């Protein structure tokens, strides 16, 4: 595996080595040893999720209260998505900044987002399938969102699909009603950087 640290502390891109022949391909998309060396702790897997999205679907920006937060190890076994990590931790040196990783069925990368980070993606192809390994289970009372088109965050969303056609964004009613980053901060629902430090490796604290 090749690992690249993203510009938001607590997020990494993981690119697996693939072994292919006439029968198909094999790869290891998660390794506990590599993960623990990277993050300083094992993945406490509590739930595994899957979503299937049409081209243009935007999901997020989603985050959870810290503690306990919800870390996510995400990959796209079918199709393609532009996956986004947003630093929503109040007090973080990179608060409000974002980074992206292309997850698709070619390079078969994964992204890991530590507790306290915001997560979103845009589907680039009909039927794009995303799988998530999560450190906590679904708890709606602890989960929140920020509007993915918030101009303050200013995510550079793709405008063309994988086949070159124009993308038309589609959001859920919940994501359309989500507050801006400034509104979420004023409402006191954003996690703090101080609380999130407990989930970062010593090298990033």
Q: Which active-site residues does the annotation give? A: 62, 132
Geometric angle at alpha carbon 169, from 162 and 5, rounded to 5°:
65
β-partners of residue 128 are: 53
Question: What would you measure as the largest C-alpha separation in the chain, in angstroms?
Answer: 56
- Positions of E strands within the chain: 2-5, 11-15, 18-21, 24-27, 47-53, 58-64, 72-78, 80-87, 98-104, 110-113, 117-123, 128-134, 143-145
The CA distance from 57 to 137, in Å, is: 24
Question: Does residue 111 contact residue 74 with C-beta atoms inside 8 Å?
Answer: yes
Tell me if residue 111 falls in helix, strand or coil.
strand
Place of tokens 């072994």: 19
Residues with Cβ < 8 Å from 196, sequence gap 6 or more? 10, 66, 69, 89, 92, 114, 115, 116, 117
């Amino acid at each position: 595996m090749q690992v690249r640290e993203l510009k938001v502390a607590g997020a990494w891109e993981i690119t697996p080595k693939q072994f292919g022949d006439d029968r198909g391909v094999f790869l290891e998309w998660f390794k506990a040893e590599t993960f623990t060396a990277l993050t300083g702790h094992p993945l406490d897997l509590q739930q595994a999720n899957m979503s299937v999205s049409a081209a243009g679907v935007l999901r997020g920006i989603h985050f959870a209260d810290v503690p306990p937060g919800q870390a996510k190890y995400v990959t796209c076994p079918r199709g393609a998505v532009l996956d986004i990590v947003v630093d929503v931790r109040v007090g973080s040196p990179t608060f409000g900044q974002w980074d992206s990783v292309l997850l698709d069925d070619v390079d078969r990368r994964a992204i890991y987002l530590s507790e306290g980070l915001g997560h979103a993606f845009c589907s680039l192809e009909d039927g794009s399938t995303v799988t998530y390994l999560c450190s906590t289970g679904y708890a709606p009372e602890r989960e929140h969102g920020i509007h993915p088109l918030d101009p303050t965050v200013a995510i550079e969303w793709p405008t063309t699909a994988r086949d070159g056609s124009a993308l038309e964004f589609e959001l859920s009613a919940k994501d359309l009603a989500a507050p801006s980053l400034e509104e979420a901060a004023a409402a006191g629902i954003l996690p703090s950087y101080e609380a999130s430090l407990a989930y970062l490796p010593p090298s990033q604290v």
